[in-house]
């Protein structure tokens, strides 16, 4: 069975990427974002039309040296995009989902929040070895569980250690009901927490709760677009009504944000996307002060980290009631630039070191997650040939299966 990162290569011809908190080396071909991007066709998914993207050559270089790939959800086109390095060019591999939004990854577990359900996939390395072309894939994500939640506008998610089970619990933001929940085998969802200023559970998106992050294995901070206790009340002050809440104290610790998303605790600091300004920065948890690290050419939403790099999702801002009146719209009106994709930012300098820009059909990004140690993963959905012959069994049962069947049918523990 394969292990994460076991096929990582040490190519001395590439400029090194520092995975601690040291500055990245200033190699001109690596750090400069203004080189001419390459253009390519995305792989055909269920539709006939190709989804197009361009990227700086630094992006596949970064992924190769991190021995990683990226997952990106775009609910507007119903796609989960796998970004993989393939011989120095970015391979954009699309999988269809019904309005995919939040994702959570922990070890061999992947959860994807969709229009009215949560789908869970597990990595089965034994299956990866059987995929064509032989030897190319180092991970294979297979469907394992599905929970129907109803249309609750599932936003961000996180795997959190359980106090009662050896398996982690999946926490997720239920934006329609303005609360944090976990899955249930009996109910649509099980509420665990809601902001103090909300008087009841009501499916009318009162504060647009959207992002969460954990600290030391516990959900700790969430973002919302306002502190309203009335239906869709957050829409009255999109420009600077955004807040960040400490879950333990249920106190608002930062105010005045513009449509904030994607809080993340990383490297001992609390990071956040000030989406309405196109900002990426940090929050001082004691003072609530927001310090901007970078300003990007799109609505920032979706964030993950590895070493000195932040991978930030960007969406185009539309002329609509949702985006009207936010600072980003005013800033981009003068430049005319409206980008959608993933930007790579050096968190020590604030410099953009690469980007992937989607064109045409893809206009909005929600989640960006890194698959560490997986250079070329595959995600299997309704492929009957593969699913029909891929059995995952407990160790005690697997021990009683003849070896010939394990080899032929891809049995895995």
Which CA distances in Å does 149 have to 76, 120, 184?
20, 13, 9
The residue among 165 and 1 whose pLDDT is bigger is 165
The pLDDT mean for the chain works out to: 86
* Cβ(159)–Cβ(106) below 8 Å: yes
* Separation between Cα atoms, residue 143 and residue 30, nearest integer Å: 37
Q: What local confidence, expressed as pLDDT, does residue 321 receive?
A: 58
Amino acid 317: pLDDT: 82
CA distances to 47, 128, 266 from 257, rounded to whole Å, are 38, 44, 20
Each residue of 238-288: pLDDT tens digit? 999 999 999 999 999 999 999 999 999 999 999 999 999 999 999 999 999
Entry pTM: 0.86
Query: pLDDT tens-digit profile of 60-105?
Result: 999 999 999 999 999 989 999 999 999 999 999 999 999 999 999 9
Distances (CA, A) of 65 to 83, 100, 105, 352: 14, 28, 20, 18
b/e per residue, 112-139, with b = 16+ CB within 10 A? bbbbbbbbbbbbbbbbbbbbeeeeebbb
> Rounded CA gap, 121 and 108, in Å?
8
Strand order in the sheet with 190-193: 154-160, 169-174, 179-182, 190-193
Q: What is the DSSP letter of 413?
A: -
The sheet with strand 251-257 has its strands ordered as 209-215, 218-224, 242-246, 251-257
| pLDDT tops 70 at residue 355 | yes
66 in Cβ contact with 306 (< 8 Å):
yes
Poorest-pLDDT segment among 39-53, 124-138, 325-339? 39-53
SS3 content of the chain, % helix, strand, coil (to 5): 10, 40, 50
pLDDT at position 411, please?
52
| Of 381 and 12, more confident | 381
pLDDT of residue 8: 34
pLDDT at residue number 110: 99
**What structural domains and CATH numbers belong to the chain?**
28-381 (2.120.10.30), 382-413 (no CATH)
Q: Tell me: the pLDDT tens digits for 202-213?
A: 999 999 999 999
């Amino acid at each position: 069975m394969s292990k994460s990162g076991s096929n990582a290569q040490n190519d001395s011809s590439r400029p090194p990427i520092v995975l601690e908190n040291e500055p990245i080396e200033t190699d001109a071909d690596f750090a400069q974002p203004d080189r001419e991007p390459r253009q390519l066709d995305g792989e055909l998914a269920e539709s006939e039309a190709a989804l197009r993207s361009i990227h700086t050559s630094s992006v596949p270089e970064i992924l190769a040296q991190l021995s990683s790939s990226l997952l990106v959800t775009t609910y507007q086109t119903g796609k989960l995009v796998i970004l993989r390095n393939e011989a120095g060019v970015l391979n954009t591999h699309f999988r269809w989902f019904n309005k995919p939004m939040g994702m959570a990854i922990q070890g061999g577990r992947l959860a994807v929040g969709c229009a009215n359900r949560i789908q869970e996939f597990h990595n089965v390395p034994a299956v990866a070895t059987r995929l064509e072309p032989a030897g190319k894939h180092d991970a294979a994500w297979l469907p394992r569980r599905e929970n129907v939640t109803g249309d609750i506008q599932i936003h961000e998610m996180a795997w959190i250690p359980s106090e009662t089970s050896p398996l982690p619990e999946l926490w997720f933001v239920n934006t329609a009901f303005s609360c944090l929940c976990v899955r249930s085998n009996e109910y649509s969802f099980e509420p665990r927490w809601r902001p103090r200023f909300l008087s009841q559970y009501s499916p009318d998106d009162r504060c647009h709760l959207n992002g969460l992050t954990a600290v030391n294995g516990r959900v700790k901070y969430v973002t919302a677009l306002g502190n309203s206790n009335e239906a869709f009340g957050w829409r009255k002050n999109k420009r600077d009504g955004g807040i960040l809440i400490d879950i333990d104290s249920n106190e608002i610790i930062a105010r005045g944000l513009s449509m904030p998303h994607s809080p993340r605790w990383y490297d001992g600091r609390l990071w956040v996307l000030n989406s309405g300004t196109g900002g990426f920065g940090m929050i001082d948890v004691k003072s609530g002060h927001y310090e901007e690290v970078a300003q990007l050419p799109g609505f920032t939403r979706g964030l993950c980290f590895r070493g000195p790099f932040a991978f930030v999702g960007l969406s185009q801002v539309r002329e609509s009631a949702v985006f009207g009146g936010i600072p980003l719209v005013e800033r981009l009106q003068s430049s005319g630039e409206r980008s959608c994709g993933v930007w790579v930012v050096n968190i020590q300098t604030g410099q953009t070191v690469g980007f992937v820009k989607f064109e045409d059909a893809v206009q909005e990004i929600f989640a960006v997650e890194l698959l560490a140690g997986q250079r070329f993963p595959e995600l299997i959905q309704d492929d009957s040939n593969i699913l029909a012959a891929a059995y995952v069994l407990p160790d005690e049962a697997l021990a009683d299966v003849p070896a010939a069947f394990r080899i032929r049918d891809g049995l895995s523990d």
